[in-house]
Structure 1
Amino acid sequence: MSRRDALTDPVALPGRLIEIDGLTTHVLVEGSGPPVLLLAALGSNWFDLDQLADELVGQFTVIRYDRPGYGASESLPRDRFPTLRGEIDRMAAVLDSAGVTDPVLIAAHSLSSLYAEAFARDRPERTAAVMMIDGTFVMVPWRVLPTALRVRNCHRAVRVVDALRLPQLMGPMVHDSVLPTPPGGFTAVQQFWTRAVFTTTTMLRATLVENAAFPSVNADLVALRRERPAVDAAVTVVAALAEAGGWRRFWRWRQERFAEMLGGVFEEISPANHFVVTQHPAAMGLMITRLARRAGLLDADS
């Protein structure tokens, strides 16, 4: 089976392919118990969360999905780009497809914290708790170029990269150099999907386009904060901190402000890389379990 076939073959691909807003979307549901929705970072896919999901499936129903263009999900058309409202609706559709009607714990890594916060503000009846894992918190919102122009520039850049065959030559190497090696190493399954996904320009395009849309998404979140100032859910903000240095102090201070803004609890893990979900899945699993207890999703002795 070719790599392209593997991404679209429902027998080889874990989970299901469903349609959301006219796009084929990859959704994976595992385990049983209170629902936990894991949101991957910018440039991350379902398989990058495998080790963390393994820590949770014994107690929770763990739900993952790939945003447009990531993993096995269909890309957005060239004239569309990610929006805050679009992602809120996609999250709700994913939960609906999994039959989840109870309030969910959302654990969001990095940029996806914007989507988690927005969902909690917009759909409080569906949100029991939120964990921001080294989340993106913009203290001084900014926007330089119009989003449509930024996105067009992304598509132009990808055409150049594609012509040079850079993903085929360097894609998996880039993935492995950015993500810290998980305890026990990357599994054979993760290595297969890394090769399948990162040797195409689809993944690169999705990453660049989502990053290009970020200022617009953040501006919409700022507006939503004004409209709905309270987050009616248990919140934990987790900072991944370097071992020492000025950046550690700055990042800790910034994440503490994030927790204060959300009315949440601040926790830290150190020494840790930004991709702490890969580096320390057991510790992250314990933190999610602790938040679930605080939110009443688990008994205190679970």
Structure 2
Amino acid sequence: MNPPPRFVRVDGIPLHVAVEGAGPPVVLSAGLAMAWFDWDPVAALLAARDRTVIRFDRPGHGLSAPATEPPGAAGEARRIAGLLDGLGLGGTPVTVVGHSIAGFHAEAFARLYPERTAALVLVDSSVEEAPRTVLPAALRTGAARALGRAVTAAGLPAALGPALRGGAVRASRAGRAADPAARDLVRRCYRTGRVWRGALLENSRYPDTAAELLALRAEHPLTAPATVLAGHDGQPGDAARRWLGRQAALAEVLGARFEVAEPAGHLVMLDRPHQVARAVLHARG
């Protein structure tokens, strides 16, 4: 069962956060357009193993307030730090866990706040070795805002939001497994234009965030122990092999332990929650 909704204001934006358990803190941040409840199985396992589990929704995601500005790697790292301060955990090192695009944010936090990082775990993280942009950032951001307003005005989130969420989850799981999220939570989040606008805005700055992280790597060494956990659905193919190769290369760049979760789609936390929890529990070495 999810803990009751709680909100912490960071930089003027109310962030939805769920805190459960007791012990060394773990911060879980999900990928693009995902929500706190996508960590339910992992959070339950960690709380049962004496961890304080902190799940939060970035602006425009889950139940958090709408995003006002495009996100960036350093900005999202500062948001995590502000959230921990708001929870009274400013002086406690945390294990920070990032899935997909949130892997950029988690790594940025570990590099910018080494004294606050006990360990870093990347779960099928986004990887960009040489990010490129074609259109200017301002143009991409403006287009994302305009599209978000148009989609909302047309009533598409209310009509199709939960169905689109369900289809995306099935496409991202091993064996096309169904979305396990509670229907009332899915409707509460994905029938709103706020979530789709937030996802479009975040995605519009994806290459910029990736490039920013590469710059941070050059300036801020990673001192915390790190783990890269890559999902693999067990199916043969060049695309799957290339993805595992890129994840292994990321682990080498970070000096991280590399592990494959199999069978698992991109949503490793739903397909292999025990393996994710085990990686987090062992991340400190």
Q: Please report the TM-score for the alignment, with normalisation by the length of structure 2.
A: 0.92
Partner of 1:98: 87
Any conservation in 2 of the 1:29–1:98 contact (CA below 8 Å)? no
**RMSD of the alignment, in Å?**
1.9
Q: Which residue of 1 aligns with 2:59?
A: 68
- Residues 68 and 74 in structure 1, CA contact (< 8 A), matched pair in contact too: yes
1:204 aligned residue (186, 196, 215): 196
How far does the alpha carbon of each residue in 1:163-199 deviate from its partner, in whole angstroms, 9 at most, with x for none?
Answer: 3322112111111122247999725xx3211101101
Change (3 A) 1:16 1:214: same
1:29 to 19, 28, 31: 19
Name the residue aligned to 1:238.
229
Aligned counterparts of 1:184 and 1:36: Cα–Cα separation in 2: 27
With over 3 angstroms needed to count, the CA separation of the structure-2 counterparts of 1:142 and 1:102, relative to structure 1, is same
- Alignment pair present for 1:259 and 2:251: yes
Which residue identity lines up with residue 71 of structure 1 in the other structure? G
1:129–1:235: 8 Å Cα contact kept in structure 2?
A: yes
Shift of 1:250: 0.6
Matches within 5 A, 1:219-238: 219-228=211-220, 230-238=221-229
User: Residues 273 and 33 from structure 1, CA distance in 2 versus in 1: closer, same or farther, beyond 3 angstroms?
Assistant: same
Please state how far the C-alpha of 1:30 moved relative to its aligned partner.
Answer: 0.7
What amino acid maps onto 2:164 in structure 1?
A: V
Q: 2:16 is paired with a residue of what secondary structure?
A: strand
Q: By how many angstroms is 1:203 displaced?
A: 0.5
- The aligned residue for residue 14 of structure 1 is 4
Q: Deviations over 1:111-137 (max 9, x none)?
A: 001111111111100001111100111
Gaps (5+ residues) in structure 1? 1-11, 295-302
User: Corresponding residue for 2:156?
Assistant: 166
- Equivalent positions of 1:65-214 (< 5 A) are 65-77=56-68, 80-100=69-89, 101-180=91-170, 186=180, 190-214=182-206
Kept in 2, the 8 Å contact 1:71–1:197? The answer is: yes
Provide, for residues 226-274 of structure 1, a one-character-per-residue CA deviation record: whole Å limited to 9, x for no partner. 112x210110101101312112211111000000000101000112110
On the 8 A contact 2:166/2:179 being kept in 1, the answer is: no
For 2:138 and 2:129, locate their aligned partners in 1 and report how far apart those are by CA, in whole Å. Answer: 24
Deviation at 1:13, TM superposition (A): 8.0
Question: Is the contact between residue 45 and residue 70 of structure 1 (CA under 8 Å) also seen in structure 2?
Answer: yes
Q: Which residue number corresponds to residue 275 of structure 1?
A: 267
Determine helix, strand or coil for the equivalent of 2:121: strand
- Report the Cα distance in structure 2 between the residues aligned to 1:132 and 1:151, rounded to whole angstroms: 27
Q: Say if 1:37 and 1:105, in contact at 8 Å, map to a contact too.
A: yes
The question of whether the paired residues in 2 share the 8 Å contact of 1:111 and 1:136 is answered with: yes
**Amino acid corresponding to residue 124 of structure 2 in structure 1:** D
Identity in percent = 38
How many Å separate the matches in 1 of 2:65 and 2:154? 23
Q: Give the Cα–Cα distance (whole angstroms) in 2 for the partners of residues 15 and 161 of structure 1.
A: 27
Partner of 1:291: 283
Distance of aligned partners of 1:184 and 1:219 in 2 relative to their CA distance in 1, 3 Å threshold = closer
Structure 2 CA distance, aligned partners of 1:118 and 1:76?
20
The structural deviation recorded for 1:152 is 1.0
Q: Which structure's CA Rg is the greater one? A: 1
CA distance in 2, matches of 1:247, 1:216: 24
Q: Supply the AA of the counterpart residue of 1:219.
A: A
The match for 1:6 is none
2:207 aligned residue: 215
Please tell me whether residue 248 in structure 1 is matched to residue 240 in structure 2. Answer: yes
Residue pair 1:120, 1:233 contacting (<8 A) in 2 also: yes
Pick the aligned partner of 1:42 from 15, 32, 42.
32
Deviation digits for residues 138-176 of structure 1, max 9, x if unmatched? 111212212221111112212332233221121111111
Tell me which amino acid in the other structure corresponds to 2:56.
Y
| Structure 2 stretches lacking a partner, 5+ long | none
1:8 maps to: none
